Structure 1
Amino acid sequence: MKQPSITSLPPSPDADRRARMLKYTIAMSIRVVCLVMMLFVDGWWLFVCAAGAICLPYIAVVLANVGAPTADTTVLRPGGVVAIPERKAPEDDEQDRQAS
């Protein structure tokens, strides 16, 4: 039976929330840059900045709502005791060698 390791556990809720807030903040910061750049650019760059300013809020919310990828979180027999195979005593090894 495979024991769950600490690396297979999902991140804590606080760490997950912080990562999602960071993604949202970065996306919305890029949106603010797009809004400001719309005042200074001309031509097709204006269209690119406008598209970024319009589309980035949706993308930011979707990224913020997507949680961390979940690993296999099933725990087999929580709190169960794992049997350890019994070791032979050194005297038994010597008796086995002498018998053969």
Structure 2
Amino acid sequence: MKHSPAQSATSLPRAPRDDAHTRMTKYFTMMAIRVACFVAMVMITPYGWYTFVLALGACFLPYVAVVIANVASSPAERATSPERAIEAPPGEAGPAAPVSDVIRIQESPSKTTAPGAS
């Protein structure tokens, strides 16, 4: 049987539900700005250079919103295993070396007597 190391919680990617929520929030925020640009473009008079800027915002924000919303979050960096991060004290050869601060409790085999024996 092949032994695989335990998955570290810090190396897991973001949950798909959380990632989708973040991307939808970005998209809806940019669409709200687009609607505000469109409304301001129509409502503000007299028309001037700012009308052109608002029109550009209303035209190009949908493209920018889709591009930003479709960018997935960056994958989590590979985490270092916690066992590898802990350094052994000097003079010890590794995990098999005895540790003086550890108390080990071991059960002894039970001594059962045969039925009827006294």
What 5-or-longer segments of structure 1 have no aligned partner?
77-83, 91-100
Alignment of 1:1-100 (within 5 A): 5-41=8-44, 42-72=47-77, 85-88=95-98, 90=100
Identity of aligned residues (%): 44
CA distances 1:44-86 after superposition (whole Å, capped 9, x unpaired): 1101100000000000100111000112469x9xxxxxxx812
Select the structure with the greater relative contact order (CA < 8 A; seq sep ≥ 6): 1
Instruction: Report the Cα distance in structure 2 between the residues aligned to 1:14 and 1:89, rounded to whole angstroms.
Output: 44
Whose radius of gyration is greater, 1 or 2? 2
Q: CA deviation at 1:15?
A: 0.2
Structure 1: 4+ residue segments shifted above 4 A = none
CA distance in 1, matches of 2:19, 2:12: 12
In 2, Cα distance between equivalents of 1:3 and 1:61: 37
Alignment coverage as a number of residue pairs: 81
RMSD in angstroms over aligned alpha carbons? 2.7
Query: Given the two structures, how large is their TM-score scaled by the length of structure 1?
Result: 0.68
Which is richer in helix?
1
- In the alignment, the residues of structure 2 paired with residue 19 and residue 25 of structure 1 have an alpha-carbon distance, to the nearest angstrom, of 10
Which structure 2 residue ranges, 5 or more long, are not aligned? 82-93, 101-118
